[in-house]
Amino acid sequence: MMDPYFILGVDRGVDDEGVRKAYLEKIRQWPPEHYPDEFQKVSEACSLIQTHKKRLAFQLFHSSAAVDLAPLGAMSGVRGRPSLDELTEWMKKLLASIRLDTRR
């Protein structure tokens, strides 16, 4: 099961208003007409932790053997921007994998 807190980008101590705001922000980011899958994920996540009671139920009964490790991949919330050296180095490496048409 996906971690609804991670999907909505809120921390575990969030209140009802915090969930609502995060939900609205996410559905603005992923409008259903363009991103139906993402929108569904966001809606499901919201329905799991929308109210205090639901968050308590999630805390009490949620346990998953296939624990979603995605939160480990994006915890800081700050995106790292590559340096010029890194960009240059990656481009050099990518040159080795360029697909060239050998027919002239």
Partner 1 sequence: MAKKKGKSKVNPIPARTIGSEGLDHLTAGRFKLAIESLKSALKEDPHATILRERLVEAYEGRADELSSKGMAREAAVMLEKSGAITGTPPDPVRLCALYLKGGQLARALDSLAPLKATPEGRNVLSTGPLAELLAVSALVGQVENVAPLLDDESSSFMKHLQTARELLNACADGRDEEALGLLKKLPITSPFKNVRVFIHALILSSPQPQKSLKLIDKIEDTSLFHPMAQAVRLSVTGGPSVLQSISSLDPPARDLATRLLNVSPEAFQAIRQLEQGAPDQRIKGLLARSLENYFPRATLRTLCLVLLPHAPGYLGLFQQRFGPLPPWEVHRIRALDLEHRDRWEGAVVEWIKAVEHMDDPMMKALVFRHLAGFKTYEDLDDIPRILFRSKGRNDYSRAKFLESSLDHDPDDRETHLALMGLHDSKRDAKSVRAVIDRAVRAFPGDRDILEAAMDAAFASGTFKKAVSFAEKILVVNPIHSRAREILVEAHLAHARKKVKEKRLDLADKELVVAESTEKESTRNGRVQVCQAMLALLRGEEKQAEEQLDRVRNLKKNSLEVELMIQSEAERFHVPATLMKKIINNNFKQVVDRMTPDAISFPALIRELDRYRQDKHLPMQKWYKTLLPVFTRAVHVEISLEERRSVCNFLLENELFNPLEQFAGEGLRQWGDEPSFRFFNMVAKARGNAFRADRWALRRLERDMTSLQARLDTRTMGNMERFLSMVGGTPFGAYAGDGPDDDDTGEEAADEELFESVVGPVLEVLSEEVRSRVRAEGALRRKLGDKKYEEKLVKELSRGPLDNEMFREVIRRIVQEILSGGGEP
List contacts with partner 1 (CB under 8 A): 2-3, 7, 12, 29-31, 34-35, 38, 41, 52-53, 56-57, 60-65, 67-76, 78-84, 86-102, 104
Compute the least distance from the CB of residue 17 to partner 1, in Å: 18
Residue (18 or 30) nearer to partner 1, CB: 30
Distance CA 58, CA 15 (A): 14
Compute the least distance from the CB of residue 51 to partner 1, in Å: 10
Distance CA 62, CA 16 (A): 19
Only one residue has tokens 């990518």, namely 94
Residue (17 or 79) nearer to partner 1, CB: 79
Q: How far is CA 9 from CA 12, 21, 26, 39, 71, in A?
A: 10, 11, 9, 14, 9
Compute the least distance from the CB of residue 77 to partner 1, in Å: 8
